[in-house]
Amino acid sequence: MKMDYLSVTDLTAELTKKLIIKAIDLKKQNYRGNELKGKTVALIFEKPSLRTRTTFEVAIFHLGGYPIYLAPGDIKLGVREPVKDVARNLDKWVDAIVARVFDHRTLLELSEYARIPVINALSDLEHPCQALADFMTIYEIAGTFDVKLSFIGDSNNVANSLMLLSAMMGTDFSLAHPPGYEPDSLVVEKALDLAAESGSVITITTDPVEAAKHADFVYTDVWTSMGQESEREKRVRDFQGYQVNSELLEYASKDVRVMHCLPAHRGEEITEEVMESERSVVFQQAENRLHTEKSLFLEIFKG
C-alpha cells in the first residue's frame, strides 16, 4: 500500500516522532546511502522555490535516486492536460511524485490517480514538510515536544500544518492573527479534536501579546504569500502590530527561540535585529528540511 504525505495528519504522532529522531541521526552522520538506487522522483513545481526544490533534489541524490524537475512551463498542470492524466502518465515512469502547487485539490487528484506515493511540497492548505523540519528543530533544541509554540501573523498553510502537528504532538499552540485573517474552520476543528487526545492547548486570538506570553518558540511568516501580490498594500496595513520584534519577545520565555520558514521580508513580519540575533533558528530550520525529507523517503521506500 502506497504512503502519501499530503498533510501532517497522514502520519501518526508516534511515526512522526520516529521520523524526526531518525532525521536527527541522519544529520549527525551527514548520511549518504543507496536506498533510492534505481528510483526516480518527479518534482512538479507550480511555484518558485529555493529551500524546497534544493533540499528535495539533494535528499533524493544523497539516497542514490534521481530527481526529475518539472517546471511550471514544462507540463502546465491542469492546463495542457488534466491533472489526472499527468498522474497516470507519471505513474508509469517514476517511483514517486513531489508536488508544490497552488490548489490543495491538485494534490488530492494526483494522489487519487497515481498508484505511487505523492508528497505535498506546499499547497494553499498545508506545508507538511516544513512543519516536520520545524518540529525536528524544536526537538533538537528542547529535547521534548512539550513546549509552547506561538505563530504571529497570517493564518496560512504553514500555520495550518503547525497547528495540526502541535495538536498531534502535545505541543501548546497559539495563533495571533489580524481580524479578517482567521484560520480555516475545518483545520481548527480537526486540531481541537487532536488536542483533546494529546493534551495540547490550542489558542486562537487577535492579540499578539497574548499569543507570545510564555512562548518557548515564536514563529512568523511573510504577510503576503505567493499568489497574493495584488493584496500586498492592504496586507501590510492590516498586519501592523503583528511584527516579531524585541518588544514582543519580552513577553515570551527568557530562552525563546524565533522561527521563520523563509523567505523573510525583513522589516515587515520580522525585524533585522531579531532575524540576526542568537535567538533566531531560521537557518537551522532550513537545514533540517534536508534531513526530514531524507527520513520521509526512507520511510516511504522502506523494504
Helices (H) and strands (E) in the chain, counts: 13, 9
**Does 279 qualify as catalytic in the annotation?**
no
State the catalytic residue, choosing from 51, 62, 127, 260. Answer: 127
Which one from 130, 172, 177, 285 is the annotated catalytic residue? 130
Assess whether 88 carries a catalytic annotation: no
Q: Is 261 a catalytic residue?
A: yes
| Residue 153 main-chain phi, psi, to 5 deg | 135, -135
DSSP structural state of residue 94: -
Helices (H), the chain: 13-29, 51-62, 72-75, 83-93, 104-113, 128-142, 157-169, 185-198, 208-212, 232-238, 246-249, 272-275, 282-300
Q: One of 62, 95, 221, 257 is an active-site residue; which one?
A: 221
Q: How far apart are CA 249 and CA 288, in angstroms?
A: 24
Smallest CA-to-CA distance from 104 within 191, 186, 13, 32 is with 186
The set of cell numbers assigned to 277 is 540575533
Which grid cell is 299?
Answer: 520511510
Q: Is 129 a catalytic residue?
A: no
285 is known as an active-site residue: no
* Residue in 51, 53, 62, 100 annotated catalytic: 100
CA distance 259 to 244: 10
Provide the annotated active-site residues.
100, 127, 130, 221, 261, 289
